[in-house]
Amino acid sequence: MAREYSLYPVIMAGGSGTRFWPLSRHLFPKQLLRISGEYTLIQQTMRRVLGCAPAANVLISTNAAQADLIRVQLADWKEDLTNGFLLEPEGRNTAPAIALAALEVLTRDPSGLMLVVPADHVVTGQRDFENAVRLASQLASECYLVTFGIKPIRPETGYGYIKPKDNAFLGKQGKLRGYLVHKFVEKPNATKAARYVKAGGYFWNSGMFVWRAAAILEEIGLYQPAIMAAMERIKKLRMDGASKQAIDDVYRQIVSVSIDTGVMERSSKAAVVPVTFRWSDVGSWGSLDEVAEKDRAGNVVTGRVIDLESTHSIVYADRRVVATIGLQNMVVVDTPDATLVCPKSRAQDVKKIVDILKQRQAPEHLEHLTVQRPWGSYTVLEEGPGFKVKRVTVNPGGRLSLQMHHQRSEHWVVISGTARVTRDQEIFDLHVGESTAIPVNTKHRLENPSQETVHIIEVQNGPYLGEDDIVRFKDDYGRDVHREALHATRETA
């Protein structure tokens, strides 16, 4: 009788927002966007993997800068994900992140299987997805490293390709078949891509995997021994009760390596299951045509858009009215602080715009004017030398962390609702029109005890107003406490 193995989905959610700028930002990446359907991409991914495993088995691989927003979007599974976040101190590509997740799975279940999926892909066909995972799990239980292959629908130069080995059939599940991998092919030029599609027998590499945690660690140890040595060091530091800083320092020294080039392309255990579900990695604004609903003229239109005679274009309006006339194959994206206009054929070059903004240290690459948090949100209304003005929204029952600032004072004015304030040993309520001051180096907390949303205006003053000037003492949302510096992630309370 075949042995049953528990499956642990690992959602890879540490990507940065580049190709969907200005809607995506470094701290608000593509996975958090509602691109296709009523749910965001990471919410879709969570719902998809729950067809294969319970929520308590799900692990979210991300970083501290993005964890808050992910917690907000996955709030429906808050209790199940209490211990489900694996936070990288610094992005080191997929191989180290997967190794870290495999260590976690092994601590829970020495024979556990991992289903590794990106948080920002679109998959259509839940039953077909589950069938593919079922076959891949069967092969993974036999110590194969399984990836899903997507049948090419065009000569795509942005994906890697996989060619199965002839006469290397491994197993089946209904109409699905699994094979040993003959070779992986790096992103080809247009000529090679066209040849692969014409010849047949090649599949796009989806970046989704199933394997035993023990098996992938064994292969990482074989082909990336430095990564495995770092994992062993991290494991020992944890057992010895070392500080988070000491563990993070070990991780930061790991060389950045992808799991594809670092392990899968070298392993003799690599297998592929060509799948039947529809898939898109939604890599740029131009790729929305693959997943979004279009009007009769082939346009994808969102928001307050007034259009005359445009065709095959993408127009997104956030708050303002956007009027377009006679566009053809264009992209127009308008947000409160940035606007993008480009031909669809140049949509991949949006990343270059983000690189320029980053070089100029422009805030528009980092985050939106309105930033979501587990307790609500804040919007920067105005800032200048020595001051910053925010509108802060606290949801019913929401509570910021108990915290302190070394560099700034704050002044709060309530404009709606009732705010409960903790200031050192004082606890008191503020009503509409009332205000209070929070001096430098004063422990404080803001919360909403009522069922009505609280809005306050916050005025900050001081020589430094960065969001990394925070010492957190208590927090309701699982975030680190006693952090004196956040390495310029601009994480807020």
Q: What's the CATH number where 77 sits? A: 3.90.550.10
From residue 289, alpha-carbon distances to 40, 239, 285, 286, 299 in Å are 17, 50, 8, 7, 9
The C-alpha atoms of residue 82 and residue 59 are separated, in whole angstroms, by 10
Residue 20 sits in the same domain as residue 133: yes
Full-model pTM: 0.87
Residue 389 sits in the same domain as residue 433: yes
pLDDT of residue 454: 97
Residue 316 sits in the same domain as residue 230: no
pLDDT of residue 1: 38
Residue 356 lies in a domain: no
pLDDT of residue 3: 62
Residue 228 sits in the same domain as residue 312: no
pLDDT of residue 485: 36
Number of compact structural domains in the chain: 3
Token pair in block for residue 278: 């529809």
From residue 173, alpha-carbon distances to 124, 273, 386 in Å are 19, 10, 64
Residue 102 sits in the same domain as residue 222: yes
Residues of the chain scoring pLDDT < 70: 1-3, 17, 482-493
- HEC states along the chain? CCCCCCEEEEEECCCCCCCCCCCCECCECHHHCCCCCCCCHHHHHHHHHCCCCCHHHCEEEEEHHHHHHHHHHCHHHCCCCCCCEEEECCCCCHHHHHHHHHHHHHHHCCCCEEEEEECCCEEECHHHHHHHHHHHHHHHCCCCEEEEEECCCCCCCCCCEEEEEEEEEEEEECCEEEEEEEEEECCCCHHHHHHHHHHCCCEEEEEEEEEEHHHHHHHHHHHCHHHHHHHHHHHHHHHCCCCHHHHHHHHHCCCCCCHHHHHHCCCCCEEEEECCCEEECCCCHHHHHHCCCCCCCCCEEECCEEEECCECCEEEECCCCEEEECCECEEEEEECCEEEEEEHHHHHHHHHHHHHHHHCCCHHHCCCCEEEECCEEEEEEEEECCEEEEEEEECCCCECCEEECCCCEEEEEEEECCEEEEECCEEEEECCCCEEEECCCCCEEEECCCCCCEEEEEEEECCCCCCCCCEEEECCCCCCCCCCCCCCCCCCC
Boundary of a domain, candidates 227, 252, 280: 280
Residue 297 sits in the same domain as residue 261: no
From residue 394, alpha-carbon distances to 140, 279, 448 in Å are 46, 38, 6
Residue 322 sits in the same domain as residue 396: no
Residue 103 sits in the same domain as residue 252: yes
**Helices 225-239 and 244-252, interaxial angle, to 10°?**
180
pLDDT of residue 371: 87
Q: In the chain, what is the straight-line distance between the N-terminal and C-terminal CA atoms, in Å?
A: 53
Residue 237 sits in the same domain as residue 129: yes
Residue 262 sits in the same domain as residue 202: yes
Residue 29 sits in the same domain as residue 110: yes
Residue 120 lies in a domain: yes
Residue 177 sits in the same domain as residue 208: yes
Q: What is the domain extent for residue 393?
A: 369-474
Residues in the chain: 493
